[in-house]
Structure 1
């Protein structure tokens, strides 16, 4: 007998793995499947889903409903769907409905996805459901949503800029005005296109004029928070994420769009600075004071509450949204302590992505995409990018490496999202089916 031979057998640890691929539940596709995929893709575009995720979702739906060979091409604004099962393969174009992202709409759209991939919904029923969702009125009225925008601005001022109490009040008032303008402007018009630069210009005029008469100490503490929902933090991060996933066209176009948005906002601020005559060293100076023990966490709660109201969060989603934001912000702080600020965004993005995917399976929890958009604003890249770009244009940027640090933070956040998504998919593969994890 070998000296290494054991007298007993060690049982093998076998982990059952579930496939992440969909299974066909229908023998042949219906005549309405192509139209349903186009409408569903357009609806997913309207709630800010990344092109990579849209293509993966539509493919699962197509396989489930009997068309495993469907050809899909997804861009940030266009979707092409080819059905080889038909005699004449046609390509349809879907366009995003535009306008503000609404979380109540996103939750209902992802419910349709769940129903379709489970085989509980036909293509015809899916078309009717999507049409009803897009036509539905927002959950909250105009006044509630406008006040929510003000609360979100106040929260951002506390978290990112360490704003003083008076600056928080100013940020709330200006945030209410920006929220009102955003909701009154009709989507898809020239007014909607000009709204970001016009908002930045008019707000900067007011803030710099107030700073000129000593009513405002640090103008950026008042100016940046009301513009938070106009900042392209999500577009920049999602663009990098799509590039990393291999969607070159989608990622490049979204990245260019985000950079252009930043430039427009910075141009509006610089134009106002020129008109008011306030020295750039005064108007664009920011101290980033040390935050108190409870100040940033209060800001996160204010921000979450404001986002919940402004974007019409579904019932009970406030608790889950707040949890994800707290986890993301807290993980970012831990990452900054362990490895420095350059990598803090990676930890924050990884943690919030994993938690968002895990909690979306809980009854009443919103889909993960609902938590991603506000989390991107809270993880810095949009606000920091606007400040750095504006300071660089006016020559008042004392730190030449700030723009490089901004690019690094965006890449770190995108890699965090990719890593969190990959980790969740591995958890999904080994988790028992009774856990009910949603793969969307």
Structure 2
């Protein structure tokens, strides 16, 4: 693990005498756990809040942690400040698998509750980093196929459309795992994959009675920066401008590459104007289960977590379905954001459930705001009126904002409720009597 600290001039000043009483293990755990959360790709304000609780539990309440685009900034009570490079070199994305994120969240909860000390926390943190994936290559490829199949069902594809979605998703997912080892390959792969998938869909989809603009979405959905885009808006809304802007820039770059590849292919191979297939209107409700199973396999999460993840996914999907029917996709996005946070927090106490911030990450794909923008980019390459394509791209952006605002609203509201429920009573006991008296004003 690459772990490098860069310290400023203030760090060379002598520390106050009381600083020597602080455990070195506690400081090291705070620093390394902060880097791990940055690698997990969770929102910056969540890292700040979570690490504040950990610092309080370890006896260093004056420590503050701030997430930056390429690492974390740790400010200690004695005035020293250190910057630690994140292992994940791409700002705004997550490099931890879901099983690692699950272990990390469980460890931070245990340390914040006082059940685990700093030394044991460091040992578990190292073990988490060194843990190999739960599944081999064959199971991971099967997960990509299920991922595409489930998303195709969410889009109400035809029977042969589901076969096409699963096959192309397996190929895209497998190649993505290979090229991700190279920085140049990882940067160019979204555009190449979007071009190839759109070209294949333009030729094959009309023959199986499906709209090519829909057929190309399911195989590419794993490349959509759904979590990064949502977290970018959350960070910006929470005042974390630097990390939010970095996440947003990386997300926009990924969407531009995908849109460029899809647009180029649509210009070279025009889509057919008629499709004779019958959409499977019942498929979305089963597709949620298939999609969740694919997420667990591709993200290396234990299959025993599937029931709890399905509860979160179905709760979000149901709320979004009825909210969209009532007030349109933007209201549906906001309602889905609120629902996914509440459901993830409600079901994370179930046996083998994923932590709340691991549970609703896969659910973000179900809201499919990025898929709307990708479909709009394809339609821009088709002849005719482009107003509908521009409208879809605009709606996609507004759905992302609405989803992020919903997540932020639900997170802050639940934090306020928890604070009020755990607030100590205002009345105090009079030391000279048995009656409780209100505290005196000074």
Partner of 2:88: 96
Pick one of 35, 38, 44 that aligns with 2:31: 38
Partner of 2:104: 109
Pick one of 167, 171, 176 that aligns with 1:177: 171
Q: What count of residue pairs does the alignment treat as equivalent? A: 400
Partner of 1:230: 223
1:171 Cα offset (Å):
0.5
Pick one of 351, 356, 372 that aligns with 1:384: 372
Partner of 2:288: 300
Note the alpha carbon deviations across 1:277-299, whole angstroms, 9 max, x for none. Answer: 322x538x99998762x321011
Pick one of 125, 129, 134 that aligns with 2:120: 125
In structure 2, relative to structure 1, the CA distance for the partners of 1:431 and 1:205 (3 Å cut) is same
1:142 Cα offset (Å):
1.4
Pick one of 142, 159, 178 that aligns with 2:137: 142
In structure 2, relative to structure 1, the CA distance for the partners of 1:331 and 1:192 (3 Å cut) is same
Are 1:370 and 2:358 matched, yes or no?
yes
Are 1:417 and 2:407 matched, yes or no?
yes
Mapped partners of 2:333, 2:275: distance in 1: 21
Contact conserved, 1:29 with 1:66, CA < 8 A, in 2? Answer: yes
Mapped partners of 2:306, 2:22: distance in 1: 38
List gaps (5 residues or longer) in structure 2: 1-18, 424-442
Contact conserved, 1:357 with 1:424, CA < 8 A, in 2? Answer: no
Mapped partners of 1:266, 1:401: distance in 2: 15
Mapped partners of 1:288, 1:415: distance in 2: 38
Range that drifts further, 393-402 or 222-231: 393-402
What's the TM-score, normalizing by structure 1? 0.83
Partner of 1:262: 255
Range that drifts further, 91-100 or 358-367: 91-100
Mapped partners of 2:316, 2:266: distance in 1: 34
Contact conserved, 2:141 with 2:174, CA < 8 A, in 1? Answer: yes
Contact conserved, 1:81 with 1:93, CA < 8 A, in 2? Answer: no
Higher relative contact order (CA 8 A, sep 6+): 1
Contact conserved, 1:325 with 1:352, CA < 8 A, in 2? Answer: yes
RMSD: 2.8
Q: Secondary structure at the residue paired with 2:272? A: helix
Mapped partners of 1:286, 1:235: distance in 2: 35
Q: Secondary structure at the residue paired with 1:316? A: helix
Mapped partners of 1:166, 1:241: distance in 2: 38
Note the alpha carbon deviations across 1:387-415, whole angstroms, 9 max, x for none. Answer: 12333366653414222222221111111
Mapped partners of 1:290, 1:208: distance in 2: 18
Pick one of 26, 51, 75 that aligns with 2:68: 75
List gaps (5 residues or longer) in structure 1: 1-25, 434-440
1:84 Cα offset (Å):
3.7
In structure 2, relative to structure 1, the CA distance for the partners of 1:167 and 1:38 (3 Å cut) is same
